[in-house]
Amino acid sequence: MLVNQKTLRNSISCTGVGLHGGYLINMSLKPAAVDTGILFRRTDVAADIADIPARHNTVSDLVMCTTIENEAGVKIATIEHLMAALSGCGIDNVIVELDGPEVPVMDGSSAPFVFLIECADVVEQEAPRRYIRILKDVTVSDGKASATLSPGDNISVSFEIDFDNTRIGRQNCSFSMRNGTFKKELCRARTFGFLGEFEKLKSLGLAKGGSLENAIVLSGEDILNEEGLRYEDEFVRHKALDAVGDLYLAGAPIIGQFYGLRSGHALNNRLLHALLADDEAWCYTTEAPVRVSNVGGAHWPSQKAAAPATA
């Protein structure tokens, strides 16, 4: 079954605070032509150096967030929650314009971005969507943390965390990204951190925009947010949300199973580099993922193709 590429029907804008810079940033999501991919554009710099494609190989910094950078040194930080929303809503082509170096954090989840995408409306384009199909297991690790992509007949994300803090403790989740699962089960999960960490980051000039309005903040085992949690396991769901956004930097949806154990942005990005460097581990396909009941699994027509124009 072929599925067409999608973009936005209309442009839409919002204003929000940057998590680390703390300043107001205006952002617009705009329709884009077939095979554009996810293209970020800084409107506060010269036009000839303004564009940054969202790809695994344009990532330049993974401390506390995912940052992309072009050859001219122009950067955009904290893209992961928006990338997750674009992936979860099936958006292949969009231009993201910002008048600053960071995506607004909004409420610390992907839900505001899903709302924007739905308000702008989604439209099909006259070209088939291209997927990356996993052909063999690929794993990267760092101490007790690991991240794996395995063959599968669908797009699925599983995650496990294990914190010494007993309020979080050990949590796991697993989701198949079909039929609105991202919106229903993941998009509202917020980023989280500990009060002492936020205070330290602010002393270093980071997290200037961080507050109880855009993050779950814990002091010891107490959650400081008056409204509490949105999900009982919101912590691990947010880590899965981050992984959805990080994996979309492959440049196409991934047909296969992702499993993260204590993984973060850096390890997720290392996994994409390891995958795409191994020609035997993946292939392109235009055949959309489907559930199958036969023991042998799905048969996938595959093809190697040139990277999209945004590579």
Q: Which residues are catalytic?
A: 265
Interatomic CA distance for residues 175 and 244, integer angstroms: 11
Interatomic CA distance for residues 266 and 59, integer angstroms: 10
Contact 98, 74 (CB under 8 A): no
Interatomic CA distance for residues 55 and 72, integer angstroms: 16
Task: Please give the distance of CA 115 from its chain centroid, rounded to a whole number.
Answer: 16
| CA proximity to 39, closest of 96, 118, 115 | 96
State the pairing for strand pair 155-162/38-42.
unpaired
Count the neighbouring beta carbons within 10 Å of the beta carbon of residue 10: 11
Q: What sign has the CA pseudo-torsion 237, 77, 198, 224? A: negative
- CA max distance for the chain: 57
Instruction: Write out the H or E segment, with its range, that includes residue 158.
Output: strand 155-162
